[in-house]
Structure 1
Amino acid sequence: MNDELERSLLSKYPAIFGEYTGSISRSTYCNVECGDGWHNLLDTLCHDIQAYVDAEHVQQVTFIQVKEKFGQLRIYYNLVDKYVDDLIKEAERQSRSICEYCGNVGSYQKTSSGWIQTVCPDCR
């Protein structure tokens, strides 16, 4: 994810991503290792998770790793909570129909080189 989009998530959801001090080398936060096209999906997911944590007074959810794996969004985090599990599983499922690069409707497919990715026809 480009730096501007990643910083927007880090600044909106510091409790989820960890501390971002303005300097990548001095920060202790979770990197977002996926394409720009999943930014809105992650933004919505983080909003929903933080709203749940705040409303229900449950333990703060903290992301450990956010990345693309086997053509879909993959999120590793610190908490076992059915509601949060369901939110994350749904976002991961949705990522299989959103182009990782541009955010348009995409399809989950194997490339000619054997990799699996979710892309739209324009980004293919």
Structure 2
Amino acid sequence: MRKELQQHLLDRFPWAKAQPRIDNLWLRYGFDIGDGWYNLICDLFSEIEELYRAKGLEISLEFAQIKQKFGALTIYTYKTLPEVYDLIRKFQARSLEVCEKCADRGRLRKQVGWWITLCDSCFDRLSRKDCI
């Protein structure tokens, strides 16, 4: 994800900033996903805020990693409520229908051993360039 989109998310959701831990890949790589999933992350973070607010709790979770794995949004966390895992699974399922590059309707595809969720247009463009 472009740095300016990452910064916009961290400005909007300051609790999501990486904690300085030696094993924290989130600190090193940030949002290791395409720009097309920006709205998924924004919606997920909003729902996390709503969950904690409804419980009257301060947000205490930490992200270990946010990335694409096997074509799906994959998020690893520390110190979170069990319900957050349900939210993560919900958005992971949604990610399989959203192009990771442009946010149009996408589907899971395999190209040269690599799984990725793309729309037809992005898939055709990347296939022609042999980028994946």
Please indicate the TM-score interval, normalised by the length of the shorter structure: 0.7 to 0.9
Aligned to 1:123: 122
- Once the two structures are superposed, the pairs formed by residues 1-124 of structure 1 within 5 Å of their partners are 1-18=1-18, 31-58=30-57, 60-111=60-111, 113-124=112-123
8 Å Cα contact 1:53-1:60 kept in structure 2: no
In structure 2, the CA distance between the partners of 1:29 and 1:11, relative to structure 1 (3 Å rule), is farther
Structure 2 residues not aligned, in runs of 5+: 20-26, 124-132
The alignment's TM-score, normalised by the length of structure 2, stands at: 0.79
1:29 Cα deviation after fit: 8.0
CA distance in 2, matches of 1:75, 1:57: 24
8 Å Cα contact 1:10-1:18 kept in structure 2: no
The alignment's TM-score, normalised by the length of structure 1, stands at: 0.84
| SS in structure 2 of the partner of residue 97 of structure 1 | coil
Identity %: 34
1:95 Cα deviation after fit: 0.5
CA distance in 2, matches of 1:15, 1:29: 17
CA distance in 2, matches of 1:30, 1:53: 26
Aligned pair count reads: 115
Where does structure 1 differ by over 4 angstroms across 4 or more consecutive aligned residues? none
Aligned to 1:24: none
Q: AA paired with 1:43?
A: C
8 Å Cα contact 2:61-2:80 kept in structure 1: no
Root-mean-square deviation (Å): 1.8
